Chain A
Amino acid sequence: MDFSPTPEQEELRAQARAFLAGSLQPSWDELAELGWTGASVPEAEGGTGLGFLEEAVLFEELGRAITPTPFRSTVAVVLPALPPDLQGEVARGEASWTLATGPLVQDLDTATRIAYVGGDSIWELEGAEREILLTNDESRPLGVVTGGSAGRRLGSSKLLPLLRTRSLTSLALEACGVGARALELAVDHANERIQFGKAIGNYQAVSHPLATTLVELELGRSLAQFAAWCVAEGDDRAPVAAAAAKAHCADAAVAACERSIQTHGGIGFTWEHVLHRLYKRALGIQAWDTSGERLRAEIADHLLGGGL
């Protein structure tokens, strides 16, 4: 039993953090050159043959940096539905994907290709018109597609539960990254900001909410890591673990940002400060796909049987 990251995963995290700190809007080509887009693609198809636990590190770091990229849509959601040759394209940075399952679609501004579900299959959508909508989280615009026609058949719609589990897990991991950064900013500020002759972190009215934030985020990290491990292992518990992780981590990230804004005082309320962008990403994660309340209803059904 070992639930700590491998040295290689730690190394990947350090590399990712350093790269993303210096590259706020990396291109898809750059991510491909780093080997990220093909992390879990077999080496025969041009990938690096790693797995979901390595991708988990990247989801978290990309969340932390609020990087605008179709990485999550492509790698967490669509990739397992793609045939080998199309996976190879993703690994080489030639294509990125998003999945249109509802009226709103993520990453329509950046993903080069669109998948959708029709009947018992997942298809490529060709020739559709894309409209990008203004969104609260500028780093992840939403859009709508109209028209278009079925292109190549990509895979069976039986894959959808797996794609959903991967999507929820990646959102939970992103939330961990967002929340951790918001907390670090709060701690830095509480150590530096002097009022009444002391750093404000001396006051328990300031420090205790930050301790609570750490607890919530650490618990969330455990849930997200467990869900990621279940996905990587193909463990039966993955769907419930992913639902639990997304429900908890999104709320924890939003609360972390809110407490960080409060700790920062007026500066945290300004447009110049990065906090509002982290906050809006956290709110975006919370709102996307399936709400915490709905996920908990699913978990209650799992634990207790059907509703009243």
Chain B
Amino acid sequence: MDLHDTPSEAQFRGDLRSWLAGNRPGATDDDAPSPTEVLRDWSRRLYAAGYSGLTWPVEHGGGGKPYSYQAIFHEELARTEAPQHLGVIGLGMAGPTIIAHGTDAQKASRLAHVLSAAEIWCQGFSEPDAGSDLSAVRTSARLEGSHFVIDGQKVWSSYAHIADWCLLIARSDAASERQVGLTCLIVDMRSPGIEVRPLRQITGEAEFNEIFFSGVEVPVENVIGEIGEGWHVAMTTLLHERGTLGFALTASLEVVMRRLIELARDRGATAVQRDAIAREWIELEALRYTAYRSLSDLMKTGVPGPEGAILKLQWSEANQRVTKLALELLGSDAQLLAGNAPYGGYWQYQQLRSRGNTIEAGTSEILRSIIAERVLGLPRSR
């Protein structure tokens, strides 16, 4: 047990720190998310400097580094509040899925573009009637000669409005039910028959989209894994979504916590509020060191364990509590928006956005069931 950086980790951290000091995008006047083009340029620079896909195999253009380097990367990004690579779905989910299940041709044609942000990915998993129960997917993939014809609707797809590619799960066997008869495909988002409609959300912005597929033709060579084995492929994707996210989540909460402490210093806090702030700081520390423990296990086994559910569950609920605490500190000013709001409306936005945290990427209820069944060994409740 040693929490110190190894000499080579320390070297990497030092280099990254100097690089970030000279390269991170300038802070915007307000706290609005950076525009896509700024992020795309930033992502390209991350790639050029060798910071994209740190843990990906070298043969696929990655850094071939142990997971601890990815953790250091997230920590240092959070320290300077630099934005993430724009291609989070590609880097964290679609890319690892292609590496695990894709053909050589798919690897050769897509992976480098994921790293460089030349191609942005979205995910076509959830449907109006398939949310927590992903096996209820009804979007159909009908094989006609050398291509599949896709018809159906996907929803809650982040980045679909700017995406070049979609990692899609669809029902390739019309007579099948549940987990069987599903197939994973990569779909060119510029194909005829695709319509993307943004979903305006509780914050007023539109991060998510609906994707409508009508008669969209996808070549058979775009199948990932075997036809009919899509469930297995999708589980790889979700394992990566939950497994490697712990450090990114901790890092984002760290930024929010730092700002909460500034807010409390600026505006003062009652004894009860100070107690709540200390409580949330303790929870953040706990999250950080749990991510360390989870990372140490990941580095030994190579596969993220079900414990990743603990990190996501804890982060989402902590983020909701922290942002609500900030609004409480703001008092009546918490009602103001944008230009009139203190801190440019940062807290009002963060608090509303946080309500999605316990729903997206596995609801808290689903995560508790995963923990109960796979970590504690209780019977399946479904």
Q: Do A and B truly interact?
A: yes
Interface range on chain B (Cβ under 8 Å from partner): 35 or more
Chain B residues near A199 (CB-CB < 8 A): 379
Answer whether A210 and B376 are a contact pair too, CB < 8 Å, given A1-B295, A4-B296, A307-B274.
Answer: yes
In chain B between 324 and 382, which residues have their CB closer than 8 angstroms to a CB of chain A?
365, 367-369, 371-373, 375-381
In chain A between 187 and 228, which residues have their CB closer than 8 angstroms to a CB of chain B?
187, 190-191, 198-199, 201-204, 207-208, 210-212, 214-215, 218-223, 225-226
Q: Which of A1, A225, A247 contacts B2 (CB under 8 A)?
A: A1
Give the complex CA separation of A303 and B258 in angstroms. Answer: 10
- Encode B260-284 as 1/0 by CB contact (under 8 A) with A: 0100110011110011011101110
Chain B residues near A183 (CB-CB < 8 A): 376
Q: Give the Cβ gap from B245 to chain A, nearest Cβ, in Å.
A: 16
Number of interface residues of A (CB under 8 A): 48
Task: Determine which residue in A191, A218, A308 has the highest number of CB atoms from chain B within 10 A of its CB, and name it.
Answer: A218
Closest B-chain residue to A241, C-beta based? B285
**Are B310 and A215 closer than 8 Å at their CB atoms?**
yes
Give the complex CA separation of A307 and B265 in angstroms. Answer: 11
B292 within 8 A of A: yes
Q: Which of A187, A202, A297, A300 contacts B381 (CB under 8 A)?
A: A202
**Are B287 and A219 closer than 8 Å at their CB atoms?**
yes
Answer whether A9 and B375 are a contact pair too, CB < 8 Å, given A215-B310, A303-B277.
Answer: no
Q: Give the Cβ gap from B153 to chain A, nearest Cβ, in Å.
A: 29
Chain B residues near A212 (CB-CB < 8 A): 368
Give the complex CA separation of A45 and B171 in angstroms. Answer: 71
A304 within 8 A of B: yes
Give the complex CA separation of A198 and B288 in angstroms. Answer: 38
Chain B residues near A223 (CB-CB < 8 A): 282, 285-286, 289
Give the complex CA separation of A308 and B272 in angstroms. Answer: 11
B1 within 8 A of A: yes
A150 within 8 A of B: no
Q: Give the Cβ gap from B11 to chain A, nearest Cβ, in Å.
A: 13
Give the complex CA separation of A215 and B370 in angstroms. Answer: 12
Closest A-chain residue to B5, C-beta based? A1
Chain B residues near A222 (CB-CB < 8 A): 286, 288-290, 292-293
A5 within 8 A of B: yes
B190 within 8 A of A: no
**Are A304 and B265 closer than 8 Å at their CB atoms?**
yes
A305 within 8 A of B: yes
Closest B-chain residue to A240, C-beta based? B285
Give the complex CA separation of A215 and B292 in angstroms. Answer: 15
Chain B residues near A2 (CB-CB < 8 A): 1-3, 296, 299
A6 within 8 A of B: yes
Q: Give the Cβ gap from B122 to chain A, nearest Cβ, in Å.
A: 30
B241 within 8 A of A: no
B233 within 8 A of A: no
**Are B293 and A207 closer than 8 Å at their CB atoms?**
no
Give the complex CA separation of A6 and B300 in angstroms. Answer: 12
Q: Which of A9, A204, A220 contacts B1 (CB under 8 A)?
A: A9
Give the complex CA separation of A303 and B276 in angstroms. Answer: 12
Chain B residues near A229 (CB-CB < 8 A): 1, 3
Known: A201-B378, A204-B368, A207-B378. 6 other contacts (CB 8 A): A4-B297, A191-B379, A212-B368, A218-B310, A299-B278, A303-B281
List the 8 closest A-B pairs by CB distance, nearest first: A219-B286, A222-B289, A296-B278, A207-B372, A300-B274, A201-B378, A211-B371, A4-B296
Interface residues of A (CB under 8 A from B): 1-6, 9, 53, 183, 187, 190-191, 198-199, 201-204, 207-208, 210-212, 214-215, 218-223, 225-226, 229, 241, 244, 247-248, 293, 296-297, 299-300, 303-305, 307-308
18 contacts across the A-B interface (CB closer than 8 A): A2-B2, A3-B3, A187-B378, A191-B378, A204-B365, A207-B372, A207-B376, A208-B365, A211-B368, A214-B371, A218-B290, A225-B1, A225-B289, A247-B282, A296-B275, A296-B279, A307-B274, A308-B269
